Amino acid sequence: MLSRYQSTGKKATRDGFGDALYELGQQHPDVVALSADLSGSLKMQKFIKEFPDRFFQVGVAEANMMGIAAGLATSGKIPFTTTFANFSTGRVYDQIRQSIAYSHKNVKICASHAGLTLGEDGATHQILEDLGMIKMLPGFVVINPCDYNQTKAAMHAIVKYHGPVYLRFGRPSWPIFMPEDEPFEIGKAIVMQPGTDVTVIATGHMVWYALQAVQQLETQGISAELINIHTIKPLDEEAIVTSVQKTGCVVTAEEHQRNGGLGESVAGVLGRQFPAFVEMVAVNDSFGESGNPTELLDKYGLGVADIVKAIQTVLQRKKSAGIHQPANGQPLAAKS
Amino acid sequence: MTNLENLQKICPQVRRDIIRMVYFAQSGHPGGSLGCTEFLTALYFHVMKHDRAFNMTGRNEDMFFLSNGHISPVWYSVLSRSGYFPIKEMGTFRKMNSRLQGHPATHEGLPGIRVASGSLGQGLSVAIGAALAKRLNKDPQLVYVLTGDGELQEGQVWEAAMFAAHHKVDNLIATVDWNGQQIDGPNEQVISLGDLHAKWSAFGWHVLEMNGNKLDEVLSTLETAKQATGKGKPIVILMHTVMGYGVDFMEGDHNWHGVAPSQEQARKALDQLEETLGDFPYTETI
C-alpha cells in the first residue's frame, strides 16, 4: 500500500517557521516577533518587511528578550521569541522559568538549529538537552515538528493556544512528507502507519528516518506501527498505551539526549500504565561535533540503520522473554 | 488635607504593616521594604493612574513592576491599602495557601501582580515589554519599574538598559533603590556599583536623583520624570534611601535585609510608627 506520507520536496523546518510567522502576522494583529540577532537564520524577512512595528530586534541579549516577551504578553500581545535552540533554553532558563512559565505568559519560544543537524558549527551550538529542560517546567507545551509542513501547522495551532509554548525546529533542508492538509492538534499524536509487531515513536527530523526504517522492515515481514509525536508535552499517553497494548514493545527516536528526552517520557508513561520493552534511539550522554548533518546523525547512532537495529533488538527482547503477541487491550503475559 | 499630608499619614501605617507581616511570618525582608515606603506610597496613592479592579493587561492605566521582588511586604501593603485585596489578607503573608507569596507571583491570582519576581534582574526587561505594547496600542499611560541596587550586578539589567535607549522607550520610568546595602554587606564591599549616574547616562538614559525618604522630593522628582517622558529617552531615577528607614535600630544596617524581628524588636519598631489607618486584624498581638 502506498503510504500517504511521501517526500514531495525538501525545505528546512525553519523555513516553515518563517513562512508561517508571516501568515500569522497577517491574520493576528497581536502577533509580535523578537529576534536576538538571528532574524536571517530564522527566515523572518517577510514578517519584518511587512510588519516593521511589530518586530523587535533585541541584539545578542537573549535574557532581555525573554523578559521583554513576558512584558508584551502581559499587555495582551502574542510574542514569538526567536534565536537558536541553544540560546532559547539553557542560556535563559531562569528568565523562562520565572517571567514566563511561573507567570504563565502567552509567549511562544521559537527555537531553531536544534540538535546535531545544526552541523558544522559544532557542539557549542548543537543543543541536545532542550526538550528535557523545557518539559520539566510546569505548564509548558513542548512541540518538535518533523518537516516544513508540520512546522507551519504547529505555528497555526500555537497562536490559538493561550500559554507558554516551546517550538523546536532545525537548520537543514529536510524532506517534506507530511501532507499540507494533515490535521495538527497540540498533544495529539499522528499514527502514520498501523502495525502489530512493534510501536515506533519518533519526533522531529527523526520521523523521516523512522518512516524509512519502518518501510525497510515491512519488506522483511515486520509490521511496525509508526507514531509521529510532534508534541512532547502534553504527551499523547492514550495513543502510546493503545499502540503498545497491541504491539508489546517500543522504539523511540529523537535528535536529543537519551537523558531527559522523548524516550524517557514514553518509558515513564509505559512504566506507570503498561510496562513493555523500550529501546531508545537518541544521543547517549555525549556532546556532538562539527560535521555534515546526516553524517553526524549516523556517527551518533541516529541513522536509519540504527532505528532498524533498535527495532530488531526490541523484537528479540520481546521474543526472548517469551511474551505472547498481546491481543488488543489485553495485558502482556509470559508463556507458561 | 493636602496630598502631602495625606501621604504622610499613610506611610507610618505601611511601615507598621511591613513590620507586622514580617513578624507574624517570622520571615521576609523588612529593610528594603521600609526604605521604599515613601516611593510606593506616592506611586499608588498619588502618581499613578490605576484601577483597583485589576486588569492584567493594564490597558490605559499606568503599570508598576517590582523587579526586586523580595521587598514584597511594602508592595502588598500599598496594594491592599489602595483596595486591590482585603486588608486582613496581609495576615496570610508567607503562610501556606496564601496569595501573598514570599516573593510576588501571579500564580495564586493576587490582584495587582502582573509577573513573578524574586530572581533578580528581570523586571526592567518585562517593564520594557509592557512599554512597547503601550506604544503599539497608542496607550498614553506610563510604565514604572523599581529595581534594587545590588540587583544592578545582574547582566540582564544592562542588556535591558541598552535596548531601551536604542529603541527610544520613553514611556518608561525606572527607579533604582540605592540604599547601598545588599545581603552580604555594603555594595562597595560586595561589588562596587561605581558612578551609577555616569553609567546610566552613558547607556543613553535621562538620569534623575532624589532622596527617596523625603515625600515632597519623591513627588516633585516623579513629576519631573513624567514631564521628561515622550522625549526619546528612557528615564531612570537613582533613589537614595536608607535601608530600614523609620525604625531607628534597622536604619542603614544590611543585616535587616532579610530577617524578621523578635517580639521585643517588633514592639520597639511599632512604638516608633503611628497607627494611622488601623492595623490589619490578626489572631495574635505583638
pLDDT digits (tens, 9 = 90+) for B195-230: 999 999 999 999 999 999 999 999 999 999 999 999
d(CA A315, CA B246): 75
> Does A103 reach chain B within 8 Å, measured CB to CB?
yes
Residue A62 known to be catalytic: yes
Mean pLDDT computed over every residue of chain B? 97
Residue A195: which of A330, A311, A301 has the closest Cα? A311
**Cell 536604619, residue located:** B251
User: Alpha-carbon torsion A74, A75, A80, A84, what sign?
Assistant: negative
Could you tell me where the DSSP H helices lie in chain A?
13-27, 45-50, 62-74, 85-88, 93-95, 130-135, 148-158, 206-218, 237-247, 262-273, 293-299, 304-320
Cell 557542539, residue located: A123
Whether the Cβ atoms of residue A20 and residue A151 lie closer than 8 Å to each other: yes
Distance CA A175, CA A190 (A): 18
Per the confidence metrics, is the pTM higher than 0.90?
A: yes
B104-151 confidence digits (pLDDT tens): 999 999 999 999 999 999 999 999 999 999 999 999 999 999 999 999
Pairing of strands B172-178, B206-211: unpaired
Nearest to B125 among A53, A71, A76 (CB): A71
Of A25, A14, A51, nearest in space to A204 by CA? A14
CA closest to A93 among chain B residues = B119
pLDDT in tens, A301-318: 999 999 999 999 999 999
pLDDT at A168: 98
Q: Do B131 and A71 touch (CB under 8 A)?
A: yes
What whole-number percentage of chain B has pLDDT above 90? 99
Q: Catalytic pick from A23, A62, A120, A237?
A: A62
Exposure string for B229-253, b = 16+ CB within 10 A, e = fewer: beeebbbbbbbbbbbbbbbeebbbe
For A44-68, the pLDDT digits (tens) are 999 999 999 999 999 999 999 999 9
**B144-200 tens-digit pLDDT:** 999 999 999 999 999 999 999 999 999 999 999 999 999 999 999 999 999 999 999
Q: Is pLDDT at B232 greater than 80 in this prediction?
A: yes
Distance in angstroms (rounded) separating the CA atoms of residues B208 and B222: 9
**Closest Cα to residue B20, out of B86, B79, B83, B88?**
B88
Q: ipTM surpassing 0.95, yes or no? A: yes
- Measured between CB atoms, does A31 come within 8 Å of chain B? no
pLDDT confidence band for A186 (50 / 70 / 90): very high
- In the numeric block, the cell 529523537 is attached to A254
All three cell numbers of B75, joined, read 508592595
From the list B56, B129, B162, the residue facing A70 with the nearest CB is: B129
